[in-house]
């Protein structure tokens, strides 16, 4: 089932697209290819929203915390806003202090995307398309991007496609903030987290990876056994103090499920699997008192992001994925979110 509501925001004619099946309901905006709401059942069969949502739809025009947005061309920070491809240096807009972040001044989160709805017998999808022109935000090459959201049984699947006519950077992700309590009854500190990862990337004081991978053993960054998120946030650990919480890339092990999140009160369980090698996990450390739906105010640790991607700033490090996409290569990655009741 689907429906489309036409809305006008800041003189922009936009579409709010609602897709649903028996288990999941998703609301999507063609501005920023944004996931606005995601409703799944709790233990009593009550559907509630499990992602942070602005109270006012017009807040998505600015959306400084990137609620639900598609991030591109590159997610994460690029050190000093500079990178080289074939010895040619490119300088990006520095919107994160001395660094460029999440696509620059007007990344993919601030673009109007074309879309089409695809209905099949056992699934329903919305495919968004955006054509990013050569030197947009100072990235080389024309980049044709498709983001496809699919609901299938108890899963939401996001697929990322892109093609270019010139070597460029491409590192796409989704920036939804999850809270499995439902309608933000509680923050995420007492929800459980598992990460199938032995290593995380160290950050410098500018929040950019140093290039050093740190073994999670005997650190609060070890989530190889499910534990309360708040347990790690309370540690007097230099990397957590630096970020005011979690805001780090974990290198994912190739075998098995990548991430599990559980809320024991609602009994909701979310399992994330991905083709990406890395996930940046951000625990909403710097809220701006956003007006959220359900008459809530955005507070620290009200949600948590799982930004599946290539290692941020990999172009400036020899030991990481560079995120370089070449002509005649097909960029394709997939992240799957599976929901169940424990």
Phi, psi for residue 60 in degrees, rounded to 5: -75, -15
For the cut 90, the answer to whether the pLDDT of residue 10 exceeds it is no
Q: What is the pLDDT of residue 192?
A: 98
Q: Any binding-site annotation on 54?
A: no
pLDDT score, position 293? 96
**pLDDT for the residue numbered 256:** 75
- Closest to 307 measured CA to CA, from 340, 338, 335, 270: 335
- Tell whether the model's pLDDT for residue 242 goes beyond 90: yes
In DSSP terms, 115 is beta-bridged to 128
Mean pLDDT, residues 152-159? 98
Domain 2-341 has CATH 3.10.180.10: no
296: Cβ–Cβ under 8 A, 6 or more apart, which residues? 184, 302
Report, as an integer, the average pLDDT of 245-272. Answer: 95
**pLDDT tens per residue, range 85-104:** 999 999 999 999 999 999 99
Catalytic residues: 175, 307
To the question of whether residue 175 is assigned a binding role by annotation, the answer is: yes
Q: What's the mean pLDDT when you consider all of the chain?
A: 97
pLDDT at 313 exceeding the cut of 80: yes
3 with 119: CB under 8 angstroms? no
pLDDT at 255 exceeding the cut of 80: no
Q: Is 323 annotated as contributing to ligand binding?
A: no
pLDDT of residue 217: 98
Residues 60-65: what's their mean pLDDT? 96
Secondary structure, 3-state, the chain = CEEEEEEEECCEEEEEEEEECCCEEEEEECECCEEEEEEEECCCCCEEECECCECCHHHHCCCCCCCCCEECCECCEEHHHEEEECCEEEECCCCECCEEECCCCCCHHHCECEEEEEECCCCEEEEEEEEECCCHHHCCCCEEEEEEEEEECCEEEEEEEEEECCCEECECEECCEECCCCCCCCCCCCCEEEECEEEEEEECCCCCEEEEEEECCCCCCCCCCCEEHHHHHCCCCHHHHHHCCCEEEEEECCCCCCEEEEECCCCEEEEEEECCCEEEEECCCCCCCCEEHHHEECCCCCCEEEEEECCCCHHHCCCCCCCEECCCCCEEEEEEEEEEEC
pLDDT tens profile 122-149: 999 999 999 999 999 999 999 999 999 9
Q: What pLDDT does residue 286 have?
A: 95
Which residues 6+ apart lie within 8 Å of 13 measured at CB? 6
44 is in an annotated binding site: no
């Amino acid at each position: 089932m689907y429906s489309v509501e036409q809305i006008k925001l800041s003189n922009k004619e936009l579409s709010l697209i609602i897709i649903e099946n028996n288990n999941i309901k998703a609301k999507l905006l063609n501005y920023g290819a944004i996931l606005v709401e995601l409703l799944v059942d709790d233990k009593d069969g009550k559907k509630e929203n499990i992602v942070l949502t602005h109270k006012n739809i017009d807040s998505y025009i600015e959306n400084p915390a990137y609620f639900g947005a598609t991030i591109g061309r590159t997610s994460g920070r690029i050190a000093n806003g500079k990178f080289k491809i074939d010895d040619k240096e490119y300088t990006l807009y520095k919107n994160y202090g001395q660094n460029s972040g999440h696509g620059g001044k007007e990344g993919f989160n601030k673009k109007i995307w074309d879309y089409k709805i695809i209905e099949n017998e056992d699934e329903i999808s919305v495919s968004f398309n955006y054509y990013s022109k050569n030197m947009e935000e100072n990235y080389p090459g024309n980049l044709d991007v498709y983001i496809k959201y699919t609901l299938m049984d108890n899963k939401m699947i996001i697929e990322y496609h892109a093609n270019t006519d010139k070597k460029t950077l491409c590192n796409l992700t989704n920036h939804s903030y999850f809270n499995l309590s439902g309608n933000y009854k509680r923050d995420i500190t007492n929800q459980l987290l598992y990460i199938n990862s032995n290593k995380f990337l160290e950050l410098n004081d500018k929040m950019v990876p140093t290039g050093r991978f740190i073994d999670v053993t005997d650190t609060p960054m070890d989530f190889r056994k499910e534990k309360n998120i708040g347990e790690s946030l309370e540690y007097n650990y230099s990397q957590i103090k630096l970020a005011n919480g979690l805001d780090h890339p974990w290198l994912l092990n190739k075998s098995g499920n990548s991430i599990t999140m559980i809320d024991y009160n609602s009994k909701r369980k979310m399992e994330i699997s991905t083709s990406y090698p890395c996930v940046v996990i951000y625990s909403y450390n710097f809220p701006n008192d956003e007006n959220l739906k359900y008459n809530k105010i955005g507070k620290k640790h009200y949600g948590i992001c799982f930004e599946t991607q290539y290692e941020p700033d990999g172009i400036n490090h020899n030991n990481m994925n560079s995120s370089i996409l070449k002509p005649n290569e097909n960029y394709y990655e997939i992240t799957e979110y599976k929901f169940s009741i424990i």
